[in-house]
């Protein structure tokens, strides 16, 4: 079996996604990808005309990991979808800026958006209302993941240490409200990830009440 026969589009894309997860910087160069696969770079061009096509495929694989709405009502379906997107993007943070950037979306991407729009339309949303809801929900989830990834502590550890360090340098006279909040959150065993559900519920409640649905 020659190098070209040993490759498949799926193998190339899965390897590219794994490398992007490792580096956190997005799609690897064609040369580095070929090295990981143990082939010559030219072999990749038998399956992908250029790097953009590889990025299209990588993004499509990420969309394929997100749970699609089923026959449930729109509100629980959108809550479950938002949570699935958050979990997926935490695994593939490099993909956040690419999710809606592709001019040639793949089949998983198209299935995903079609299913979400269909769920919202079945739930009584107008076409414009479904577009508003989709934009609002995605903006919230993508933004939350970006903010969470940038925090100087993890979901399960580090917050108390960071908070204690900050409190040592904060004056209760100059910053009374900030000191009060940090102290309260530290004492309550604060987890930033809990904020996700609170914000999501507010958005879903607002969508449910919206006059333009």
Using one digit for the tens of pLDDT, what is the confidence trace for 76-121?
999 999 999 999 999 999 999 899 889 999 999 999 999 999 999 9
The answer to whether residue 169 sits within a structural domain is yes
The answer to whether residue 1 sits within a structural domain is no
129 touches 212 (CB < 8 A):
yes
The answer to whether residue 187 sits within a structural domain is yes
User: Is residue 18 domain-shared with residue 121, that is, in the same domain?
Assistant: no
Q: What is the mean pLDDT of residues 171-179?
A: 93
User: Domain residues for 161?
Assistant: 152-191
Give the CATH number for residue 18: 1.10.10.60
Smallest CA-to-CA distance from 8 within 81, 65, 57, 72 is with 57
Determine the Cα–Cα distance for residues 45 and 51; give it in Å rounded to an integer. 9
Determine the Cα–Cα distance for residues 39 and 42; give it in Å rounded to an integer. 8
Share of the chain above pLDDT 70, in %: 96
The answer to whether residue 186 sits within a structural domain is yes
User: Is residue 38 domain-shared with residue 121, that is, in the same domain?
Assistant: no
- pLDDT confidence band for 156 (50 / 70 / 90): low
Question: Based on the structure, what is the number of domains in the chain?
Answer: 3
Q: What is the mean pLDDT of residues 32-60?
A: 93
User: Is residue 34 domain-shared with residue 67, that is, in the same domain?
Assistant: no
Give the CATH number for residue 102: 1.10.357.10
User: Is residue 111 domain-shared with residue 123, that is, in the same domain?
Assistant: yes
- pLDDT confidence band for 129 (50 / 70 / 90): very high
The answer to whether residue 113 sits within a structural domain is yes
State the DSSP H helix or E strand holding residue 136, giving kind and residue range, or none if neither.
Answer: helix 127-150
Give the pLDDT of residue 188: 81
The answer to whether residue 2 sits within a structural domain is no
């Amino acid at each position: 079996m020659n190098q070209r026969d040993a490759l498949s589009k799926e193998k190339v894309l899965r390897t590219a996604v794994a490398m992007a997860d490792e580096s956190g910087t997005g799609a690897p160069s064609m040369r580095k990808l070929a090295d990981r696969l143990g082939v010559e770079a030219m072999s990749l061009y038998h399956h992908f005309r250029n790097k953009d096509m590889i990025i299209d495929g990588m993004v499509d694989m990420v969309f394929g990991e997100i749970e699609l709405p089923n026959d449930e009502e729109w509100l629980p379906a959108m809550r479950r979808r938002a949570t699935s997107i958050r979990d997926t993007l935490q695994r593939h943070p490099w993909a956040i800026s690419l999710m809606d950037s592709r001019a040639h979306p793949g089949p998983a991407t198209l299935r995903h958006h079609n299913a979400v729009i269909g769920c919202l339309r079945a739930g009584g949303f107008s076409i414009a209302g479904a577009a508003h809801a989709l934009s609002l929900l995605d903006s919230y989830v993508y933004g939350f993941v970006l903010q969470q990834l940038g925090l100087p502590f993890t979901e399960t550890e580090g917050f108390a240490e960071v908070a204690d360090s900050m409190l040592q340098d904060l004056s209760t006279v100059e910053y009374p409200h900030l000191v009060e909040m940090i102290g309260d959150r530290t004492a309550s065993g604060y987890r930033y990830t809990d904020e996700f559900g609170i914000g999501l519920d507010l958005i879903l409640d607002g969508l449910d009440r919206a006059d333009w649905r």
